[in-house]
Amino acid sequence: MSGKPRWQHPGRLPQTVVFVAAATVLAVALYAAYTTQEARRAQEAATPTPAGRPRATAAPPAPTTAFVALPVPARSADWTLYTDANDVTALAVGQDGDLWAAGAGGAVRWNMRAGTYTHYTAESGLVGTFVRAVALGPDGAAWFGTLRGVSRFDGNTWTSYTAAAGLADDSVMTIHAAADGALWFGTAFGGASRFDGQRWATWTTADGLAHNWVHDIAEYPAGTLWFATRGGVSTFDGQTWTTVTTDNGLVDDDVLAAAAGPDGTMWFGTHYGASSYDGTAWDTYTTRDGLPDDYVQAIATAPDGTVWFATRGGTARVKGLDRAAYTVHDGLPSDDTRAVAIGPDGTPWFGTAGKGITHWDGQRWTGYATADGPARNWVQACAVGPDGSLWFGTYGGGASRFDGQRWTHITQADGLVHNWVQAIAAAPDGTLWLGTFNGITQRGAAGWTSYTETAGLRDDNISELAIAPDGTVWAGTRSGLARWDTAGWTTYTTTAGVLYNAIQAVAAAPDGTVWMATARGGAHFDGQTWTIHETEAGLANATAAAVAVGPDGAVWFGTSGGVVRRDESGWTRYTAADGLPSNQVRALAVGADGAVWAGTTGGLARFAGSQWIAWPAGGLVGRDVLCLVVAPDGAVWVGTQSGGVARFR
């Protein structure tokens, strides 16, 4: 490749980042991929720059412009969903100029002319909120591929299709509107399906498809489909299947993206660079040739022949010998770009990881982000603030506050010690405590104060926080239970009587007794003596992940084997046989009325004194519940591992 010109970085360009003002208003493999990406983003954000290496910064944002979020009619009076729609994995542009963006938080229609956006989730009519693909049909209707099937929206009515209706598989990765008017769907496990409006047909490896996991579909010439799969690229002309792999010239067989240029050249993106095929010869482009990153996640071609690449390390374009690459230093809001689409005027739009969408007009980048949900869809902590507002701790996005009308976000830039917030608690004096992966931040009248190991904590990894009636703060860590009062921090470990040093959850009873949950059972501390609960009914051989104390003094444990209640009459265990949606209980909350709420890996459940009532799906975006809190008005707020926040009333 020594004969190829290197791609040029044009230097810093002006950036306009548009933060959108808000109104009120996850297939196991795919889920694992998503959580891995979230973990990588959080780790990158938290990793310090090695000494001696300067950290480059992006160009400063220009003055912001506000877009208005339009309300969407809800299908349920009980559930309200709040998701982060800025993690964008798919884009489509209509002839009217409206941009459709899809991702883990649903779908957003951006009306650039009116300065508005509309955010759609399962609450609105989508069959599933985790959307992997979007395409516009020949009639202008929008089609969405989710982890639970396909939905079509004509502007008024939603229609959904699943495997039960003929779709190859419910986990849909890509959608292509073919020249003959049919819709093609590439799935994660079932191959590819074609829908002509009346009938479904499916093709798999048994028919000649290279692999049943189809990442992308392109078409050239009309009637010939190119399928980007985990096993190479397959072409289908309606009769014959042909597959090409690394043996033929592809840079890698796991092909993530496919696009056809106006001259007939086919372009493919992989984990290890991009490949092009002009009908005769293959060529390869990698970081050695100027790509900002070899992980090419999406490709689109403009009418003038310019090819645009979305990679994990920025964007790039090529048109003959004219080539350039762009990163945050040139104005991109994020280097991790996951989708690209070409607008009616030939300019590109990109979807980013956590920073919404961005547009290149030939001179500068302009970014657009929704603001009607939490900072991330992985929500680990829930709490009611001193003023009645709701606080949520996210994985990599800091803490999010919702006052009933507006969402605001707190990050390290504001004084938070770390953006991975795992616990939140409010003290009687109005002080807010936030436990993170790297210490504790206290938000009080005097401002922000952070505590780490250097300030007396034994371990910076905070799993849970609880406030006793006297204002004492208790923090569960991986190395024991920490106590904070006016004298500073004190840590209790197994040598002092703690059952197990890795504390999963902590709760303070009205009488000041502190209860904790560990991988080996439960324990409580009355200020003088530790009492271990390791062999009681339900706690034996069970990992306790949650603990809560009711107004009647009853103590509830959430375990790997169901829910365990301890009161003056003894111990009682409840499992899926008693109505729980799953025996894996991650979160517990008790309302002022004494009703107990359990968050499990299978959904939400409520116990009102005699039986459990379960919502295995209900209005939840993600069934894996990580935190619960009951608000003063009795509404239950649910934080999930992939689906943002849900309010149940």
* pLDDT for res 218: 98
Q: How many CB atoms lie within 10 A of CB 322?
A: 12
* pLDDT for res 205: 98
* pLDDT for res 430: 87
* pLDDT for res 609: 79
pLDDT digits (tens, 9 = 90+) for 139-184: 999 999 999 999 999 999 999 999 999 999 999 999 999 999 999 9
The yes-or-no verdict on residue 45 having pLDDT over 90 is: no
Residue pair 124/74 in contact (Cβ under 8 Å)? The answer is yes
What's the rounded Cα separation, in Å, for the pair 575 and 582?
A: 7
Mean pLDDT of 344-360: 96
- Name the residue type at position 555: V
* pLDDT for res 647: 94
Burial class (CB in 10 A: 0-12, 13-18, 19+), 589: buried
Residue 386's pLDDT band (cuts 50, 70, 90): confident
The fraction of the chain above a pLDDT of 70, given in percent, is: 88
pLDDT digits (tens, 9 = 90+) for 366-379: 999 999 999 999 99
* pLDDT for res 8: 57
Q: Could you give the 3-state DSSP secondary structure of residue 164?
A: helix
Q: The tokens of 349 are what?
A: 């739009």
Mean pLDDT of 458-475: 95
What's the rounded Cα separation, in Å, for the pair 458 and 204?
A: 55
* pLDDT for res 56: 35
Candidates 358, 301, 342; CA nearest to 350 is 358
Domain ranges of the chain: 15-49+56-369, 426-648
* pLDDT for res 7: 54
* pLDDT for res 95: 85
* pLDDT for res 437: 96
- C-alpha distances out from residue 66 to 93, 304, 356, 367, 505, Å: 21, 32, 14, 11, 40
Lowest mean pLDDT among 16-20, 232-236, 306-310: 16-20
**Better pLDDT: 55 or 526:** 526
**DSSP strand E in 396-536: where?**
399-402, 407-410, 421-426, 432-436, 439-444, 447-451, 462-467, 473-477, 480-485, 488-492, 503-508, 514-518, 521-525, 530-533
Beta-carbon contacts of residue 183 (< 8 Å; ≥ 6 apart): 135, 137, 143, 175, 176, 177, 194, 195, 196
Candidates 488, 464, 469; CA nearest to 427 is 469
- Please, what is the average pLDDT of the chain? 88
Left if phi > 0, otherwise alpha if psi is -120 to 50, otherwise beta: which for 191?
A: left
What DSSP letter does each residue of 285-345 carry, written as one string? E-GGGT-S-S-EEEEEE-TTS-EEEEETTEEEEEETTEEEEE-GGGT-S-S-EEEEEE-TT
The model's pTM is 0.86
The yes-or-no verdict on residue 22 having pLDDT over 60 is: no
Mean pLDDT of 12-34: 39
Q: The tokens of 437 are what?
A: 């992966």
What's the rounded Cα separation, in Å, for the pair 409 and 392?
A: 9
* pLDDT for res 155: 94
* pLDDT for res 93: 96
What's the rounded Cα separation, in Å, for the pair 389 and 91?
A: 34
The yes-or-no verdict on residue 69 having pLDDT over 90 is: no
- Name the residue type at position 23: A
Residue pair 398/412 in contact (Cβ under 8 Å)? The answer is yes
Mean pLDDT of 89-117: 94
Residue 623's pLDDT band (cuts 50, 70, 90): confident
The yes-or-no verdict on residue 64 having pLDDT over 70 is: no
- For residue 444, list its beta bridge partners: 447
Candidates 190, 262, 266; CA nearest to 229 is 190
Query: Sign (positive/negative) of CA torsion 483, 585, 148, 646?
Result: negative
For domain 15-49+56-369, the CATH superfamily is YVTN repeat-like/Quinoprotein amine dehydrogenase (2.130.10.10)
Q: Could you give the 3-state DSSP secondary structure of residue 110?
A: strand
- Name the residue type at position 148: R
Candidates 503, 508, 504; CA nearest to 491 is 503
What's the rounded Cα separation, in Å, for the pair 281 and 309?
A: 20
Residue pair 532/544 in contact (Cβ under 8 Å)? The answer is no
Left if phi > 0, otherwise alpha if psi is -120 to 50, otherwise beta: which for 368?
A: beta
Query: Sign (positive/negative) of CA torsion 344, 347, 350, 355?
Result: negative
- For residue 19, list its beta bridge partners: 369
**Better pLDDT: 375 or 458:** 375
Residue pair 298/308 in contact (Cβ under 8 Å)? The answer is no
- Name the residue type at position 385: G
Beta-carbon contacts of residue 606 (< 8 Å; ≥ 6 apart): 595, 596, 597, 598, 612, 613
Residue 618's pLDDT band (cuts 50, 70, 90): low
* Owner of token pair 């990588």: 40
Mean pLDDT of 385-408: 95
The reply to whether domains 15-49+56-369 and 426-648 share a CATH topology is yes
The fraction of the chain above a pLDDT of 90, given in percent, is: 77
How many residues are present in the chain?
649
- Name the residue type at position 244: V
Helix (H) or strand (E) holding 76: none
Q: Span 426-648: which CATH code? A: 2.130.10.10
* pLDDT for res 279: 94
Mean pLDDT of 351-366: 95
Residue 70's pLDDT band (cuts 50, 70, 90): confident
